[in-house]
Amino acid sequence: MSIVTVILSRAFKAFVTLLAIAVLNFCLLHAAPGDPAVVLAGEAGAADEQMIEQLRERFGLDQPFYVQLGKYVGSVLTLDLGYSFRQGAPVAQLIAERLPATLLLTLTAFVISLVLGIAFGVAASARVGKASDSLLTTLALLFYATPLYWAALMAVLVFSVWLGWLPGFGYETVGAGYTGLARAFDIAKHLVLPALTLGLFFMAVYMRMTRASMLEVSQLDFVKTAKAKGLSGPAIRRRHILRNAILPVVTLAGLQAGQLVGGAVLTETVFAWPGIGRLMFESLAARDYNTILGVFLVSAAMVILFNIVTDIVYRLVDPRIGAKA
């Protein structure tokens, strides 16, 4: 099967999956207690029947469930994410406003975790059983086991409150009026703590997986052959072992990449990072249906997209996969 056919067939399946996800999301959300009209009325500190009815009508909640569902599916098919009545703006615009911040955070964390994770994993496997291996493995275990929320708070406490090296929260210095490079540097400073906090967990996962996989592959016969040929240790590790050991890491990276757009609710909350994760969480609390459904749909699309990308990457890394299929 050529790559083009694979992509086409996967795209069709993806479309069906996405539609099913949209319907499921809609049903689940409407099954949750509470609705946006009552939440809005509740926040106003006073409400009468007229107000609740007005709001229901505006949200379209006065219609039968199947009509609401039909309308929603119709708008999804026309790529219309709808309007957030709570925030008074189109959902697509709300998501677009938050997307750059989220991508900056998750991509940075992704790259940090992938690069460092693989590097440390290779390093640890090369020194298996030695003190430096134990140190790296223990550190990885620690990062892996530490709750993200706690790690984030501790990072703020140490680097922001005690040492005062880095800003503890936010996307940039508010009202400073930086432009160009100064602004980029300012954002980068704000990015350090959240990106590291978010990246450490995945770094630990990649490292442990790379190390285990490297050790497994290094026992195989072709490695012995390479050694017999007289190749140097580093060359064997890079060209022969790592290339074969990387597949499980690619799988996992594909999973993480799929979540890039979904944002990181906890990290974004603790560091007041204005991303999509918070938009989703806050919309959920307010039962802002259109916004939550929009975020869910975009995230689901990303997961599916990155699954396809992962499949393609598999073929590039390991040509045997395409041949077999």
Partner 1 sequence: MNTLRATTFLIAATFAAPLAAQQSGGRLDIVVQPEPPGLMMGLVQNGPTQLVAGDIYESLLRYNSDLEPQPSLAESWEISDDGLTYTFHLHDGVKWHDGEPFTADDVVFSADVFLRETHARLRASLAYVESITAPDDTTVVFQLKEPFGPFINAFEAGTMPIVPKHIYEGTDYATNEMNATPIGTGPFKFDEWVKGSYIHLVKNEDYYLEGKPYLDEVFYRVIPDAAARAVAFETGEVDVLPGGSVENWDVPRLTAMEGVCSTGAGWEFFAPLSWMWMNNREGPTSDVRFRQAVMYAMDRNFVKDVVWNGFGKVATGPVASSTNFYSDDVTQYDYNPDKAKELLAEMGYGGEAVRILPLPYGETWQRWAEAVRQNLSEVGINAEIDSTDVAGWNEKTSQWDYDLAFTYLYQYGDPALGVSRNYVASQISKGSPWNNVEGYENPELDEKWAAAAGMVNAEDRAAAYAEIQKEIVDDVPVAWLQELEFPTIYRCNVKDLVTTAIGVNDGPRDAWVEE
Per rule CB under 8 A, is residue 33 in the interface with partner 1?
yes
Per rule CB under 8 A, is residue 58 in the interface with partner 1?
yes
Per rule CB under 8 A, is residue 86 in the interface with partner 1?
yes
Strand partners, 216: none
d(CA 315, CA 60): 47
Residue 257: C-alpha distances to residues 103, 113, 269, 289, 300 (Å): 10, 11, 20, 26, 12
Quick one: which of 2, 16, 49, 131 contacts partner 1 (CB under 8 A)? 49
Nearer to partner 1, 126 or 279 (CB): 279
d(CA 125, CA 216): 10
Closest separation between CB of residue 43 and partner 1, Å? 4
Q: Is 279 in contact with 98 (CB distance < 8 Å)?
A: yes
- Window contacting partner 1 (CB under 8 A); options: 87-95, 104-112, 139-147, 249-257: 87-95
Closest separation between CB of residue 38 and partner 1, Å? 5
Count how many residues are written for the chain. Answer: 325
**φ, ψ of residue 146 in degrees (nearest 5):** -75, 130
Nearer to partner 1, 102 or 299 (CB): 102
Nearer to partner 1, 244 or 290 (CB): 290
Closest separation between CB of residue 111 and partner 1, Å? 23
d(CA 276, CA 173): 20
d(CA 301, CA 292): 14
Q: Which of residues 141-180 bind partner 1 (CB under 8 A)?
A: 153, 156-157, 160-161, 164, 167-171, 174-175
Listed in sequence order, the DSSP H helices in 127-232 are 131-145, 148-155, 180-218, 221-229
Closest separation between CB of residue 262 and partner 1, Å? 16
Q: Which long-range contacts (CB under 8 A, 24 or more apart) does 39-46 make?
A: 39/286, 39/287, 40/86, 40/286
Per rule CB under 8 A, is residue 47 in the interface with partner 1?
yes
Nearer to partner 1, 131 or 161 (CB): 161
Nearer to partner 1, 237 or 287 (CB): 287
Q: Is 270 in contact with 156 (CB distance < 8 Å)?
A: yes
Closest separation between CB of residue 175 and partner 1, Å? 6
Per rule CB under 8 A, is residue 95 in the interface with partner 1?
no
Residues in Cβ contact with 196 at an 8 Å cutoff, skipping those fewer than 6 apart: 109, 112, 155
- Cα dihedral sign for 69, 70, 74, 75? negative
Compute how many residues bind partner 1; rule: CB under 8 A.
55
Nearer to partner 1, 94 or 118 (CB): 94
- Window contacting partner 1 (CB under 8 A); options: 81-89, 197-205, 217-225, 248-256: 81-89
The residue ranges that bind partner 1 (CB under 8 A) are 32-35, 38-52, 58, 85-89, 94, 97-98, 101, 153, 156-157, 160-161, 164, 167-171, 174-175, 269-275, 278-279, 282, 285-287
